[in-house]
Chain A
Amino acid sequence: MSVVKPGAEAPEFTLRRADGSEFTREDLAGQTTVLVFYPFAFSPVCTDQLSLYQDVLAEVEARGATLYGVSCDATWSQTAFRDRLGVTIEQLSDFEPKGGTCRAFGVYHPGGFAQRALVIIGADGVVKWSHQAPEPTELPGANLIFDGLKLAG
């Protein structure tokens, strides 16, 4: 299984926002979306990744894109993680049914967590660009997001 390819319609999915409300494919309409799939809240590697993305977030937003963190952690853990890091990046939880969205995007790791992957979806709901790290320990640089946004045009 590998990450969904450009040109494909974004799959149907349901994630949970911090307040427990649903976040689905309908929420992507009309905006460029960057989904950052990461393995675990609080693991040191994810921490570096989201901290760096936070520091370039204004540049992502300047390109008209909204960036979300996605993991299989529960919303409470994600919120604690976000507070701990001091990041404002909204977190979306794929906790129940566990990994349902990760499977739909082709990024569910057999170890029970999200692969480290980036997916950019256009305002039309079509996947414009995707990237999966060769190993979960390998961090995709923020440069890749900007490469992807350029292609997403």
Chain B
Amino acid sequence: MTELGSAPVPELSVEDHVGGPLDAPLVIEYADFECPFCAALQAKLAGRRLRRAFRHFPVRTSHPRAWPAACAAEAAGLQGRFWEMHDLLFADQARLEDPHLWERARALELDLERFDFDRRSDAVRARVARDFESGVRAGVVTTPTIFTTSGAYAGRVQRAVLDALG
């Protein structure tokens, strides 16, 4: 059994996908690549001076392709291209089937065979599951949910919340 009782949202770790300047305000995001509100959040976050951590929160029942997409991002990450794949996935949420994932991997000039092996591997699945479980334990129910120094915000994030971060 997996421990899923309440726990605070984990601090940043070496496992996290983190971008942005070290001294910028931190935003930890739980999101899924098939969620339209998550894609909208990317647009709101773009161009802001923030330190961002992306964590997977794929809910199979609402978004059947969220898990494969998350695993594809992780597999790209193993070749050093997590954020590029992240951007390509959010850029076209209507195309998340396997051939579309391969197209993106090709566009990023990934080693395709390795990409396909990795995205189906237990290690990658476990990596995505760890993010999901940490989100469940922190009380994430809906995507996107962001954790900032001023608190947690679920669903459509108001620009004012992001503006207030500086």
Q: In the complex, what's the smallest C-beta–C-beta distance from B28 to chain A, in angstroms?
A: 16
The interface stretch among B2-10, B39-47, B69-77, B92-100 is: B2-10
Contact of A77 with B by CB under 8 A: no
Which residue in B1, B6, B136, B140 is a CB contact (below 8 Å) of A62?
B1
Contact of A123 with B by CB under 8 A: no
Q: In the complex, what's the smallest C-beta–C-beta distance from A104 to chain B, in angstroms?
A: 26
Which residue in A47, A59, A143, A144 is a CB contact (below 8 Å) of B62?
A47
Which residue in A63, A86, A146 is a CB contact (below 8 Å) of B61?
A86
**What residues of chain A lie closer than 8 Å to B7, measured between beta carbons?**
143
Interface SS majority for chain A: helix
Contacts known (A141-B136, A141-B140, A143-B138); A51 close to B59, Cβ less than 8 A: yes
Contact with A along B139-158 (1 / 0, CB 8 A): 11110000000000010000
**What residues of chain B lie closer than 8 Å to A87, measured between beta carbons?**
61
Most buried by A among B3, B4, B5: B4
**A49 contacts B141, C-beta separation under 8 Å:** yes
**What residues of chain A lie closer than 8 Å to B3, measured between beta carbons?**
146
**A143 contacts B61, C-beta separation under 8 Å:** no
**Residue on A with the closest CB to B4?**
A146
Which bucket holds chain B's interface residue count? 10 to 19
**What residues of chain B lie closer than 8 Å to A150, measured between beta carbons?**
5
**What residues of chain B lie closer than 8 Å to A146, measured between beta carbons?**
3-6
**B141 contacts A48, C-beta separation under 8 Å:** yes
Contact of B127 with A by CB under 8 A: no
Enumerate A41-63 residues with CB–CB distance to B below 8 Å: 45, 47-52, 54-56, 59, 62-63
Contact of A74 with B by CB under 8 A: no
**A52 contacts B1, C-beta separation under 8 Å:** no
Contact of B137 with A by CB under 8 A: yes
A-B contacts, 18 of them at CB < 8 A, read: A48-B142, A49-B141, A52-B59, A52-B136, A52-B142, A55-B59, A56-B136, A63-B1, A86-B61, A139-B142, A142-B4, A142-B136, A143-B5, A143-B136, A143-B137, A146-B6, A147-B5, A150-B5
Measuring CB to CB, which residues of chain A are less than 8 angstroms from any residue of chain B? 45, 47-52, 54-56, 59, 62-63, 85-87, 139-144, 146-147, 150
Beyond A55-B59, A143-B5, 11 additional contacts (C-beta under 8 Å) are A48-B62, A55-B60, A62-B1, A85-B61, A139-B141, A139-B142, A141-B6, A141-B140, A143-B4, A143-B138, A150-B5
